[in-house]
Amino acid sequence: MIVADRKPFDEIMDMIAPYDRVLLLGCNECVTVCAVGGTKETALLAAQIRIKRQAEGRTVDVGERTLERQCDPEYVNTLAESLDDYDAVLSLACGCGVQFVAENYPGKPVLPAVNTRFMGVTEQPGMWAERCQGCGNCVLDRTQGICPVARCAKSIMNGPCGGSHGGACEVNDQLPCAWQLIIDRLKARGKLDTYSEVEKPRDWSTSRDGGPRRRVREDMTL
């Protein structure tokens, strides 16, 4: 899932300051799971905006709507009939959703209400952790299901650096060393002999270093 945090309220108010009719657009996917941009959070932010504007002596028309996904034309296209009623859209989706709505409605300001953090997992209620950077060249089969790209602070591909200590990363002693986790799992599975196999120089062109990416399945395109 994509993990995000809501922007500071003052920053949100500064963004929408020029507008008196604002549509708050939630998303029912990842940002709902991390309690940032679902129907509940959209309603809460709408109430806060109304109260703040009232305290400032300004009127505001705040609409509320939550799409199943803001990254899918099937749902984004349903906004066409209602956007004329608003001066701007304040999206509570991840950065992908904000951009996709903006692409489909270039004449309408689409503003981000959240800061997108990373792709991660729910470790426990209220706690999310990064697991993947979408590098496009997965090595989890060789690293026992632990990603050195996302979970090693230096994205080292062949064993730990010299800074880890006691199983902790030198960046943060509360952060486990990814390679220590990999080695421990290799030992537990009786595969430590594969640790000596050297990973070839990585082709980073499949990651963000190769520019914005696009995936096309010919069997699904029109």
Residue ranges per structural domain of the chain: 2-118, 134-197
* Residues 150/132, Cβ–Cβ less than 8 Å: yes
Q: What is the pTM of this model?
A: 0.83
What is the C-alpha separation between 118 and 180, in angstroms, rounded?
22
Question: CATH homologous superfamily for 2-118?
Answer: Response regulator (3.40.50.2300)
Task: Give residue-wise pLDDT tens across range 161-220.
Answer: 989 899 999 999 999 999 999 999 999 999 998 888 888 888 878 777 767 767 787 777
* Band of residue 54 on the pLDDT scale cut at 50, 70, 90: very high
* Residues 34/3, Cβ–Cβ less than 8 Å: yes
∠ CA(8), CA(13), CA(16), 5° rounding? 130
Exposure string for 154-172, b = 16+ CB within 10 A, e = fewer: ebebeebeeebeeeebeee
